[in-house]
A = this chain, B = another copy of it.
């Protein structure tokens, strides 16, 4: 028996007789025909709204999380946080534990980075989202973090998915760069199966042969996912762009295609950034982007 979205569920396979096992305490028997039965909208038709403090993801308003790729210093995060809040962002993002392809790249400030992010978030009044990399760090994330991100490189780290499922906090689950939409939903299923339904799916670009962009933002896959699941969908336009000039267009495309949330990298001085220097927006450029997103959202009957 699983409690999810305030309901007592049991999962039954199509060949199981659920009559004997359902009693008055169980509201729904979900027939499992798919490997992502809980994430599927077969049993839960209405879209899920994930709440991070007072921010609702999956509702009418398109939610934007913004902030630096990596937490570098309190001053850097504070400057960015004030700017993105003023421009209309609802969440503050920033990497403290950084999964870097090369061991010689800046590995992040770790626990200290999480604390900086938390202090700034509290000061500015923005809930924070940051990435977890290791099951051994769950206490830190429980204490300080409002929304826990699973990065693309841990998208099939099933131990971490289970652990984050147990923590119960809202999760931002990135799709792995080599994962299909179905595998992405199955990854979410690991979290939901621990009783944690506060999961937002984040498309951030897949690996293809095309090299004019860093990754290929799979807008089609994102739309296909929306048709398959009740969970809200986020898009990260910064990582697939790889360069600043492409970020606006990808962000607008994602909103036009129905994204409920965006995750955008903003840095006060991108050229000095310790990571992803090429793709972070300046606060000024982010402000322009927010104006365009709002205009677009309204044209589509949404808000931002």
Q: Tell me if B179 and A178 are in contact (CB < 8 A).
A: yes
Q: Tell me if B156 and A101 are in contact (CB < 8 A).
A: yes
The interface residues of chain B lying within 8 Å CB-to-CB of A89 are none
Is A153's CB within 8 Å of the partner chain B?
yes
Interface mask (A236-258 → B, CB under 8 Å = 1, otherwise 0)? 00001100011001101111111
Is A262's CB within 8 Å of the partner chain B?
no
The interface residues of chain B lying within 8 Å CB-to-CB of A154 are 156-157
Is A287's CB within 8 Å of the partner chain B?
no
Is A6's CB within 8 Å of the partner chain B?
no
A41–B239 Cα distance when bound, in Å, is 25
The interface residues of chain B lying within 8 Å CB-to-CB of A213 are 220-221, 223-224
A279–B218 Cα distance when bound, in Å, is 18
The 8 Å CB contact of A220, one of B100, B221, B241, is B241
The 8 Å CB contact of A99, one of B158, B212, B225, is B158
A157–B100 Cα distance when bound, in Å, is 10
Interface mask (A171-183 → B, CB under 8 Å = 1, otherwise 0)? 0000011111111
